[in-house]
Amino acid sequence: MHFLSTNISPGSLVDLYQFPPMPTDGNLHRYTDPLGCLWVAKAGTYSQWMRATDVLHGRWGLSGAYNIINSANQKVPLDYVFLDVFDLYNGVTDILTLPFAGSYHFYGQVGMTPTATGQYCNVMIRQNGTRVIQNQAWSGGTGAGINPQVNATLVVGDGDTFYLETYTLSGASFVAQNSPYITFMGFDYLGSLGY
């Protein structure tokens, strides 16, 4: 569909997109316009429907104490909110739930302070409990901090869940760097992939 600037007057854009009324129930709602673009709205956030690629983003960090325990897969308790307009991350379960299918970019990092040379840490993001992204970093010496990072674009289904996780078999536990600028996870909605 192609429109010249003379085809649409400013007042007719609402008619073109055919937006439903703003929701009032406190839930996050979606609307796909006739051109295939996803829009989202939630009472108490923005006062109008917003394009998902503009507002469906989130980032959280670690500010509290967190020990990376030897031989244990652990969720990282992200307790610092950089951005979560729609309250998608549950700080009690440490799980992010994405309500809408599409293509998303995920990223994360865990900083650690080792107690010996050769210690390592895996950092992972799990989707619905399954590891989908993983990276590993090794320490070059005692006290030489490392920051393993992950990032990838993933296809997400309605209601898929995600969390940041650590794992090590270094023979000793060590302390995560509890700065939200060093240990964090985030996502960006990229598009619908035709869903």
- The pLDDT of residue 11 is 52
- The pLDDT of residue 34 is 84
Listed as ranges, residues in the chain with pLDDT below 50 are: 1-6, 8, 10, 195
Domain ranges across the chain: 1-55, 57-191
pLDDT in tens, 174-187: 777 889 999 999 99
Q: Nearest to residue 17, comparing CAs of 32, 2, 1? A: 32
- The pLDDT of residue 8 is 47
E strand or H helix at 17: helix 13-17
**34 backbone φψ class: left, alpha, beta (φ>0; ψ -120 to 50):** alpha
- The pLDDT of residue 13 is 56
Q: The domain 57-191: what is its CATH number?
A: 2.60.120.40
* Ranges assigned E (strand) in 66-169: 67-68, 74-75, 80-83, 89-90, 95-98, 102-109, 112-113, 120-127, 130-138, 149-156, 160-167
Which letter, b or e, does each residue of 53-65 get, where b requires 16 or more Cβ atoms within 10 Å of its Cβ? bebbbbbbbbbee
- The pLDDT of residue 5 is 46
- The pLDDT of residue 188 is 97
pTM: 0.86
Query: Partners of 167 in the beta sheet?
Result: 122
Q: Read off the tokens for 129.
A: 């409990």
- The pLDDT of residue 145 is 82
- The pLDDT of residue 85 is 94
